[in-house]
Amino acid sequence: MAETILVKQEIEPGKTEQAKDVFRAVGEFKNTDAAVEVLEKEGVYTESAFLQRAEDGDHVLYYIEAEDGKEVYDVYQDIMADPQGETEGMEDFLAEFQDVVTGEPFVADVEFLYHMTTPDRP
């Protein structure tokens, strides 16, 4: 059964508007072979990103459905360590991504209550 996790990552101070542009650009390549390969390596079924503005700084929140949260993180670490590696076609995005976020992503300090999907989900 898939895990449902909420991951949080800090946006570099002063770069929120740039970060919004970077993350919105995902829509331009989300169905490319490179993007699909990354999702498959991570074991991710669904990933969505949200902007959270707070007094202590702005963050990206990622809603993720995946087979194994640890595998998602491990693949993420591999990609960030070698962005030119197996992500052909995503190099520009990864460079821009690394410019607008700071620190490691972490599982958000939230209490999971429920996750529901329709059995006929496309």
Which domains, from first to last, does the chain contain?
Answer: 3-107 (3.30.70.100)
Contact partners, residue 45, CB within 8 Å, separation at least 6: 2, 39, 65, 66, 67
Token pair 């999907």: residue: 117
Q: 16-35, pLDDT tens digit by residue?
A: 999 999 999 888 888 888 88
Q: 74-103, pLDDT tens digit by residue?
A: 999 988 888 777 667 778 888 899 999 999
pTM, 2 dp: 0.88
Confidence (pLDDT) at 86: 62
Tell me the average pLDDT of the chain: 90
